[in-house]
Amino acid sequence: MRRVTIFGATGSIGQSTLDLIARDRESYQVAALTGGRNVVQLAKDAIALGAEVAVTADEAQYKALKTMLAGTPVRAAAGRAALLEAAEWPADWTMSAIVGAAGLAPGLKALEQGGTLALANKESLVTAGALVMGTAQRTGATILPVDSEHSAVFQALVGEDMTAVERVIITASGGAFRDWPIEALTDATPEQAATHPNWDMGQRITIDSASMFNKALELIETREFFGIAPEKIETIVHPESLIHALVGFEDGAMMAHVGAPDMRHAIGYALHWPERRKLPVERLDLTRIGTLNFRPADTERYPALGLAAQVMETGGLAGAAFNAAKERALDAFIARDIGFTQMAEVVGRVIDKMSSREGLQNAEMTLDTVEDVDRAARILAAEEINKI
């Protein structure tokens, strides 16, 4: 029986992971499940799956969680220290699916166990790629990508020689506003941005898809995970979201990963790797689909892509500053303090200011330095937001 822990169990990725585990209960012992505010879901799943411990990141929810788990064998815990303790709880396979920079510390702690970390939390590699990959190398842990694009690249590279890779193409749906006139974007609301044409995901990542901040994070993630030079990483808009990524090789061949837009594929691949097992995902009928479309990703419509290039060029702790500023700007957009297009303006100003400061590029990367840059970028972003 494999021992599994799921960070962010109450979210979109977490729930899809639990769906796969629940279909094959005899193969897994659930060690820990963690969530945030949704303790009702957390308690329900922890009881149903026989988890050893359920942790809410939100200390204010501890009493509610404890009450719901009373009389069951599931232990309740709360707060950041408890989250980190859950990462130390023995597990063979850990899903990192907390949203945002908050996912970094538990993921790093889990890597210390030397097991397998299925990485959905893209912010871990964006903010601290060298630290995350270095920790895995030191402890012998395996990191498996769960983002659909990175899982696609990973699968296209099986058995291939990395030196023969000429380019990696990450596809993008183009998000909610791909067909809107650019001038109309200034008036786009959070509700409109949170409606994805193809994928059913959490609110924050769906808005990030509309702005392509999500794709920007993925480009940086590609660089960090596969060690591919930024100039070899491309983005194209593919409205059907059926090809998740392509890898181009020196002989001109391209390997494309094609599949239905269902995160249970990438999650299931990481769960069963290196084997392939039957998964409850739609089988595509290409004759019914008929046509696949592709168009260039335009940096005027999607300025986040230009910012990603800038961050990759700077390197070091620039990713931590970028992600923190993006998270703060996204909060402000959701709260209607700034408009849709102003998110990129805020992030751009923060990156410019912080890049000109000494130390961002060459500073030592530790959890402390990453968190320091994260805090500084959020403060700067708040200042920029106040000026709007």
Which residues form the interface with ligand NDP (CB under 6 A)? 8-14, 35-38, 57, 97-99, 102, 120-123, 147, 199, 201-202, 204-205, 263
The strands making up 295-296's β-sheet, listed across from edge to edge, are: 254-258, 243-249, 165-172, 233-237, 295-296
Which of 1, 2, 69 is closest to 35 using CA atoms? Answer: 69
When the beta carbons of 97 and 144 are compared against ligand NDP, the nearer one is 97
Shortest separation between residue 214's beta carbon and ligand NDP, angstroms: 7
Shortest separation between residue 63's beta carbon and ligand NDP, angstroms: 16
When the beta carbons of 204 and 378 are compared against ligand NDP, the nearer one is 204
When the beta carbons of 11 and 319 are compared against ligand NDP, the nearer one is 11
Shortest separation between residue 147's beta carbon and ligand NDP, angstroms: 4
When the beta carbons of 205 and 320 are compared against ligand NDP, the nearer one is 205
Q: How far is CA 327 from CA 57, 174, 336, 364, in A?
A: 18, 20, 14, 23
Q: How far is CA 91 from CA 7, 31, 53, 106, 348, in A?
A: 12, 7, 12, 13, 40
Shortest separation between residue 19's beta carbon and ligand NDP, angstroms: 13
Shortest separation between residue 60's beta carbon and ligand NDP, angstroms: 12
Shortest separation between residue 11's beta carbon and ligand NDP, angstroms: 2
Residue number, nearest CB to ligand NDP? 11
Shortest separation between residue 57's beta carbon and ligand NDP, angstroms: 3
Region of residue 91 (left: phi > 0; alpha: psi -120 to 50; beta: else): beta
When the beta carbons of 327 and 384 are compared against ligand NDP, the nearer one is 327
326 and 213 Cβ atoms separated by less than 8 Å: yes
Place of tokens 């411990």: 53
Take residue 66 and report the two structure tokens written for it: 């404890």
When the beta carbons of 206 and 355 are compared against ligand NDP, the nearer one is 206
Q: How far apart are CA 224 and CA 287, in angstroms?
A: 37
193 and 202 Cβ atoms separated by less than 8 Å: no
Phi, psi dihedral angles at 108 (to 5 degrees): -65, -40
When the beta carbons of 52 and 123 are compared against ligand NDP, the nearer one is 123
